[in-house]
Copies of this chain bind each other. A is one copy, B any other.
Amino acid sequence: MAIAKFEQIKQFIYRQIEMSVWPENSKVPSENALAQQFNCSRMTARRALTELCDTAVLVRSQGRGTFVATLKSQSSALEIKNISDEIRQRGHQYSVKILLLEQREADQEVAITLGLTAGDTVYFSSLIHLENKLPVQLEHRYVNPAMVPNYLTNDFNCLTPHEILSKAAPLTEAEHIIEATMPVQEIINQLQLAPNEPCLEIKRRTFSSKGVVSFARLIHPSSRFRLGGRFNVST
């Protein structure tokens, strides 16, 4: 089987939504209708709908039907995911633009964040991640050389920093700070932002069992990104 049937149905639905054939809040075909259309059993169509509901693309309501959720690109939870996977999962084309790869001396702020001393050598990578050739994330990352000695020798066109780091030092924990910011001119140019467009900025520190692995500033255009997630809370 080349590609699973329920996947085909998911992608079909996703395309209809993307092309606005099925606008937000509109009703999508019922399980039975999809089953007939795709010549499969209701349970297979159901699986496609259920999974799209899990990822908040659709909303379901017993007795009434299934509807297109309010959307925009969303990354599920604050799980640490691979941005390339995430983009490909949406059926979009992923590409990366490498701006800078170098060793540099840690300034006071970076040193403290990484648990090092000012002046220590750190690795620095600056990348732009693109979804369908449109920039969706500017990533500035400082890496602790003690944790990932060969960081800079990787091929960043094939592997994302996330993949490189997980391979070298399995992540156990992460710390996030999220803010809304107005980008400086340099970032406006790099991300091809409209004038006056704010950015969602995530500062992320990742830990392995042995200490701080890396510190990243992830800057997203607000128009092309939002962060979403669902999780339990203790009352």
Contact = CB atoms under 8 A, between A and B. Distances in A.
Candidate in A59, A72, A197, A233 with the most chain B CB atoms within 10 angstroms:
A233
Nearest to A176: B229
Interface residues of A, number: 55
A126 interface: no
Interface in A176-235: 176-182, 196-201, 220, 222, 225-235
A40 interface: no
A64 B110 CA distance: 16
A179 B54 contact: no
Interface string A165-182: 010001111111111111
Contact of A235 (B171, B175, B181, B200): B171
Nearest to A118: B25
A231 B173 contact: yes
A226 B60 CA distance: 29
A95 to B, nearest CB: 24
Given A172-B71, A180-B180, A181-B222, A79 B227 contact: no
Nearest to A115: B61
Nearest to A200: B180
A232 B173 contact: yes
Interface string A68-96: 01111111011110000000000000000
Contacts of A79: 56, 73, 233-234
A74 B232 contact: yes
Contacts of A172: 70-71, 232-233, 235
A191 to B, nearest CB: 13
Interface of A: 25, 54, 56, 59, 61, 67, 69-75, 77-80, 108-109, 112-113, 115, 166, 170-182, 196-201, 220, 222, 225-235
13 contacts: A25-B108, A25-B112, A61-B115, A74-B77, A74-B177, A74-B232, A77-B231, A79-B234, A171-B233, A178-B227, A179-B225, A180-B198, A196-B196
